[in-house]
Amino acid sequence: AYRTDEGQPWVLPVVKKVEQMIANDNSLNHEYLPILGLPEFRANASRIALGDDSPAIKEKRIGSVQSLGGTGALRIGAEFLRRWYNGNNNTATPVYVSTPTWENHNSVFMDAGFKDIRTYHYWDAAKRGLDLQGLLNDMENAPEHSIFILHACAHNPTGTDPTPEQWKQIAAVMKRRSLFPFFDSAYQGFASGSLDKDAWAVRYFVSEGFELFCAQSFSKNFGLYNERVGNLTVVGKDTDNVQRVLSQMEKIVRTTWSNPPSQGARIVATTLSSPQLFDEWYVNVKTMADRVLLMRSELRSRLEALGTPGTWNHITEQIGMFSFTGLNPKQVEYMVKEKHIYLMASGRINMCGLTTKNLDYVAKSIHEAVTKIQ
């Protein structure tokens, strides 16, 4: 979760404002939402992902399912794919997740019934970057129709994203081999500060004619973690196909949670549908993104100034909440035990934990870890 420079949780000012508006509106009640969710939320959420000028939206070949956070959107998508993709109830369709990935990806698809969850190359520890060749090779060798979980931006946990040119190569292979793109978009806006930039990959795939799913989370970019606001965007070939897909997703939703929670969706819908509130939100999002970007550049410059062995450009080339520092497990242990800096054994740090007050200490500690421990 995001933290301010004081190390505190941050409720976005626009969220506070909209919550007050909702609290003051006596015409509102707590009635059930439709199964697929609040219509104004669904339309706006998908518009954010696909872009105002999205041809898919204009051609009315998109659908949306309001979900319980990004996890819920992934689960509904996974349950649907297991029932209807690549045949009927084909639990043998391979599902590919990146190495590494958010660990819950595996559980979501397993619990949805998929029996064959595989990995694709992603993180190159030696060069501390994307193993593009490994990734492309895995896609070439994957059985046709395999499902690939792609991180739309701010890859969790490495912070390493393909460049637009690399995404183009990925899309070309996926198209040629009929692989299904399932995007996980948990950080749109939060990563670069630009909604459009962070959605570039998703939109590119749409422009290339793919049918795809995109699981969206509003936990981070709206700071609405505990309200469970998410959306599954479905892009199809035409209206008719999308309508049938949505009708089957409705059945899945009905046996999982019946209909989604209203509070978070109302906040997001109200914000996104008002030009003024939308602008305020954008500023709030940029505040968060900019602080993280600042911490990245400050950490990198300190490490370089200290002459810490190795290269540290990956700290600023990576993006989003997390960074794969490249520290090995022994160095991590040193950080935890001797310096009381908590990070994952993988070397992943949460950039939100950095503040102007602790930057020096963290940089010095990394320096010590790298120089003392090999």
- Asked whether position 6 contacts another protein by CB under 8 A, the answer is no
- The rounded distance, in Å, linking the Cα atoms of 50 and 59 is 13
Q: In terms of Cα–Cα distance, which of 223, 156, 158, 187 is closest to 2?
A: 223
Rg of the chain, C-alpha, whole Å: 21
18 exposure class (CB count in 10 Å sphere: 0-12, 13-18, 19+): buried
**Catalytic residue selected from 138, 220, 281, 312:** 220
- Residue from 263, 287, 316, 328 in contact with another protein (CB under 8 A): 263
Q: Judge whether 102 counts as a catalytic residue.
A: yes
- The rounded distance, in Å, linking the Cα atoms of 325 and 348 is 6
Helix (H, G, I), strand (E, B) or coil at 312: coil
C-beta of residue 372 within 8 angstroms of C-beta of residue 334: yes
Considering beta carbons, is residue 38 or 319 the nearer one to another protein?
38
**Catalytic residue selected from 102, 123, 200, 281:** 102
Q: How far is CA 291 from the centre of its chain?
A: 19
**Catalytic residue selected from 184, 198, 200, 281:** 184
- Asked whether position 34 contacts another protein by CB under 8 A, the answer is yes
| Element spanning 298, H or E | helix 275-306
Of residues 133 through 192, those in contact with another protein by CB under 8 A are 180
Tokens of 256: 């999982």
Q: Judge whether 220 counts as a catalytic residue.
A: yes
Residue 35 Cα distances to 27, 83, 94, 131, 306, angstroms: 22, 19, 29, 41, 56
- The rounded distance, in Å, linking the Cα atoms of 151 and 232 is 14
- Asked whether position 9 contacts another protein by CB under 8 A, the answer is yes
- Residue from 60, 115, 127, 237 in contact with another protein (CB under 8 A): 237
Question: How many residues make contact with another protein (CB under 8 A)?
Answer: 64
- Residue from 264, 320, 326, 347 in contact with another protein (CB under 8 A): 264
Residue 84 CB, shortest distance to another protein, in Å, is 5
> Segment contacting another protein (CB under 8 A): 136-144, 200-208, 226-234, 349-357?
226-234
- Residue from 54, 71, 158, 284 in contact with another protein (CB under 8 A): 71
- The rounded distance, in Å, linking the Cα atoms of 62 and 234 is 5
Considering beta carbons, is residue 218 or 324 the nearer one to another protein?
218
Considering beta carbons, is residue 254 or 357 the nearer one to another protein?
254
| Binding residues vs another protein (CB under 8 A) | 1, 9, 11, 15-16, 19-20, 23, 29-35, 67-69, 71-72, 75, 84-86, 88, 104, 107-108, 110-112, 180, 211, 219, 223-228, 236-238, 241-245, 247-248, 250-252, 254-264
Catalytic residue ranges? 102, 184, 220
